[in-house]
Amino acid sequence: GWKASMKSGSLSYILPCNRLPVQLMSQVRVYTSNGQKKDHGSEDTNKSAREETLNKAETGRQDTTNAGQKQSLPKQPIQVKVKAVLKKREYGPKYTQNNFITGVRAINEFCLKSSDLDQLRKIKRRSPHDDTETFTVYLRSDVEAKSLEVWGSPEALARERKRRKEAEIKYRENLFRNQRLLWEYKEFFGNTKPRSSTATMFFKGPGKVVMVAICINGLNFFFKLLAWVYTGSASMFSEAIHSLADTCNQALLALGISQSARTPDPSHPYGFTNMRYIASLISGVGIFMMGAGLSWYHGIIGLLHPHPVESLLWAYCILAGSLVSEGATLLVAINEIRRSARAKGLSFYQYVVQSRDPSTNVVLLEDAAAVLSVAVAATCMGLTSLTGNPYYDSVGSLGVGTLLGTVSAFLIYTNTEALLGRSIEPEQLQRLTELLESDPVVRAIHDVKATDMGMSKVRFKAEVDFDGRVVTRSYLEKQDIEQLLQEIQQVKTLEELEAFMLKHGENIIDTLGAEVDRLEKDLKQRNPDVRHVDLEIL
């Protein structure tokens, strides 16, 4: 039963008569090398106070029930644990003492000469470029000290930088002026320079298709315009406008092809490939406004104010010639798309819908629309000549305009999708993912993105969780284990341990960078469409 009671503060506690064993938690004090002391005897201050109160209450209960008996608890020794830690190094918000810079940056940014760099320490580092394995860099602190030695003070260095900046601006102005004079000289005396690679693009592939289409559509426009002047047919006027729109748009495509061949520059590091899609997009808008708009306008005017159509014999002859020429251009575009689709392993329909080659697609759709519009115009003109009703001719003009509007809408949609940066096919993305995951150094990959940059160029990005054990083992396989073991046995102090860890830690980081380069190279070799790979270490 309950026989004894005691009070602690203002609270009463009723305890049973049997003695309750009280275990005191021994205090553990941990001392670190920097002199700090940590108490782990209790979890917090409140818990310590409650234990102290309970100990006092237990002592009072023992004095009440067992008078004259003194019980003493054995004193437990204090356990001391010493934890050695390195002193934390403060680097500050801006620390560039260990940064590496290339010789070009050292010369340009610190106004040095190549002879000044010969006296500095040269460090071989892994090259970020595919064509070279290593390249030479310099410590930024050494370069800064050398620049101060050469120029005397930071103010003198700043003045020299300003002077060189002004000289660079003047040089660019003179270069532009000289280029303009050289262009005028070529225009006057003729250009005898060998044919450039840009010019050769128009003798094969999409460039050849575009040039053939420009020549044929230009001739068609001229003859259709003569037929419209002679007959006054609204359908023939629509055909003439259609050929003019095709000629202008294909000239724009030729400009896009020539611009897309430009080499990348600092302002456009990924090149000018999208110029083909931009030209095709503008071409689609031009077809809609110039071709479809004028055809609809002329057809509506013919319905509101009909007038008799003159002899259509010459119109039929010109339409027949246009049908043959447009059909020939259409066959050239079809053969080019079939060849390109076969090389990519795609069907003809998939190649066209995905807009793999926007220039050839525009020629294909424009010539297909031209063949159909010739058939529509000939049919409506035939009905007009048989019945004498000019409304059929105006309806034909509206039909040609509707056909051009449909083609332009498709071109605008496909090229807009390409410019927005759509993802690649799921099957191709799965192959790239499996290739990375099957490598022993990769533990997992996350946030995978693969964007089609146009013209069969893919940009791949992923966050990779690397297996640190495999990376370290790859580093150790290239080391002399016996020599490494001797270095470990010679470590006696914290300073020696720190130097040992820093040395091999930096080498392991370099090994990780080499593994990233290897994975990027494998992705590009096994998937030629992948041109840019960004692997981020997770």
Give the integer Cα–Cα distance in Å for 303 and 399. Answer: 13
Three-state DSSP state, 58: helix
Helix (H) or strand (E) holding 221: helix 205-231
- What pLDDT sits at residue 5? 41
**Topology annotation, domain 202-420:** Alpha-lytic protease prodomain-like (1.20.1510)
Domain ranges of the chain: 93-189, 202-420, 426-537
Pick the CATH number of 93-189 from 3.90.530, 2.60.40, 3.40.1350, 3.10.450: 3.90.530
What is the rounded CA–CA span in Å between residue 144 and residue 421?
A: 43
- Beta strands across the sheet bearing 458-466: 442-452, 458-466, 530-537
pLDDT in tens, 191-223: 444 444 555 666 677 778 888 888 888 888 888
Q: Are 329 and 367 in contact (CB under 8 A)?
A: yes
User: Rounded to whole angstroms, how far apart are CA atoms 205 and 117?
Assistant: 49
Secondary structure of 261-299 as H, E, C letters: CCCCECCECCCCCCHHHHHHHHHHHHHHHHHHHHHHHHH
The answer to whether 277 touches 454, Cβ cutoff 8 Å, is yes
The pLDDT tens digits for 33-42 are: 444 444 444 4
Distance, in Å, from the CA atom of 56 to the CA atom of 64, rounded to the nearest integer, reads 12
Which residues contact residue 77 at a Cβ distance below 8 angstroms, ignoring those fewer than 6 apart?
A: none
Instruction: Give the chain's largest Cα–Cα span.
Output: 142
pLDDT at 185 over 50: yes
d(CA 337, CA 453): 19
121-136 confidence digits (pLDDT tens): 888 887 776 666 777 8
Please give the average per-residue pLDDT across 212-239, as a whole number. Answer: 81
Give the pLDDT confidence score for residue 230 in this predicted structure: 79
For residue 272, what are its two tokens? 């000018």
- Say yes or no to pLDDT of 94 above 70: no
| CA angle (368, 372, 376) in 5-degree steps | 165
Q: Which amino acid is at 136?
A: T
321: amino acid identity, one letter? G
pLDDT for residue 118 is more than 80: yes
The topology under which CATH files domain 426-537 is Alpha-Beta Plaits (3.30.70)
pLDDT at position 68:
47
- Residue 7 — pLDDT band, cuts 50, 70, 90? very low
Q: Please determine whether the domains at 93-189 and 426-537 fall in the same fold group of CATH.
A: no
Tens of pLDDT, residues 482-496: 898 999 999 998 888
Exposure string of 413-425, with b = 16+ CB inside 10 Å and e = fewer, is ebbeebbeeeebe
Whole-number percent of the chain with pLDDT over 70: 75
Between 64-68, 275-279, 341-345, 426-430, the lowest mean confidence (pLDDT) is in 64-68
Least confident of 20-29, 148-157, 282-291: 20-29
How far, in Å, CA of 296 to CA of 291, rounded? 9
Q: Which residue has the higher pLDDT, 362 or 488?
A: 488
Whether 211 and 254 have beta carbons less than 8 Å apart is answered as yes
Q: What is the mean pLDDT of residues 295-309?
A: 80
